[in-house]
Amino acid sequence: MSRGVLLFAQNNPEIDYVQIAIFAAERINKFLNVPVTLATDNRDYFEKTYPDKISVFENIIDVNSAYNQKKQFYDGSITSKILPWKNFTRADAFDISPYDETLVMDVDYILNSSNLNNIWNSESDLAIYKTGYDLAQWRDTSSFEYFNRYTIPFYWATVFYFKKTASARAFFKIIQHIRYNWAYYRLLYVIDSPTFRNDYAFSIAIHLLNGNTNASNIANLPGKLYYTRDRDVLVSSADSSMTLLVEKCGHVGEYTLVKTDNLDVHVMNKYSLARCINE
């Protein structure tokens, strides 16, 4: 069976997701030693700007999202901008993946270990993280446990695994249906924000797939998902270590220094991640 990682990269006017995807793919090659496919709407930009990096990817697949929405992107706890956010194509992962077994990752999920290699040849058709761990430790994480106190458990679409099976295909058909009918589903599940989020769509699909109950037959990915919020700042990433400034409780604009070793971390502050790549 073929296996590999699928990354999505769709630039906005300030964040070069293609560059971040290249960085992520190089680490995937290092720690997982599997091929990587890039799905992007910026092929021409990639080929002109990073021609020496094309070989990092086994395949480049053209995607195009007809949907547009905006999101507030933070660079630490003080600075932020509202920018376009193209996140609708992940629901098509099953259709476009060239692999029998696929890991899909956010490009800002930075590998520092080979932990995810334990998922290959899984008995499960689908696997995802249900619980995330905030490196700040003090922040309220209830919104990453349930959408709100009225609704269903939260699952992270940051990283997930699937096989090319009929049951996985059905799961992604449900996600596509939710995407096309987001205005209805966000009201049904009492979601305040009109912004479509893959985390919400995947969580709703899991809920529907399990007969509208909170019980789940979806397997958990190996290990734990660690993350830093976009109010935090990545200082450096080298070898299998990361150094971060994590938002300090009750002190806006002040931070605590944190260093990690051999932990895969979802770095939500793309600005600081880009600076580390460029440095």
Average pLDDT, consecutive stretches of 10 residues, N- to C-terminus, the chain (279 residues): 96 96 97 98 96 97 86 93 94 97 98 97 95 94 83 94 96 96 94 92 92 76 96 94 95 93 97 94
Beta bridge partners of 234: 244
CB atoms within 10 A of CB 21: 30
Question: Where in the chain does DSSP place strands (E)?
Answer: 3-9, 36-40, 59-62, 70-75, 79-84, 101-105, 109-110, 126-129, 132-134, 156-163, 219-220, 225-228, 233-238, 241-248, 251-261, 265-267
Taking the domains of the chain in order of start, what are their residue ranges?
3-228
What's the rounded Cα separation, in Å, for the pair 274 and 276?
A: 5
User: Strand 233-238's sheet: what is its strand order?
Assistant: 233-238, 241-248, 251-261
CATH of domain 3-228: 3.90.550
Quote the tokens at residue 34.
């599997």
The pLDDT, as a whole number, for residue 215 is 63
Cβ density class 102-113: b for 16+ within 10 Å, e for less = bbbbbbbbbbbe
pTM greater than the 0.85 cutoff: yes
Beta bridge partners of 242: 237, 260
Q: Which of 202, 242, 235 is nearest to 110 (CA)?
A: 242
What's the rounded Cα separation, in Å, for the pair 169 and 182?
A: 20
Beta bridge partners of 5: 36, 103
Residues with Cβ within 8 Å of residue 106, at least 6 apart in sequence: 158, 159, 266
Q: Which of 4, 127, 107 is nearest to 46 (CA)?
A: 107
Q: Which of 71, 34, 56, 32 is nearest to 195 (CA)?
A: 71
What's the rounded Cα separation, in Å, for the pair 108 and 230?
A: 11
What single letter denotes the amino acid at residue 96? I
- Going by their DSSP bridges, the two strands 241-248 and 233-238 should be labelled as antiparallel
The angle formed by the CA atoms of residues 11, 90 and 93, to the nearest 5 degrees, is 125
DSSP 3-state of 272 = helix
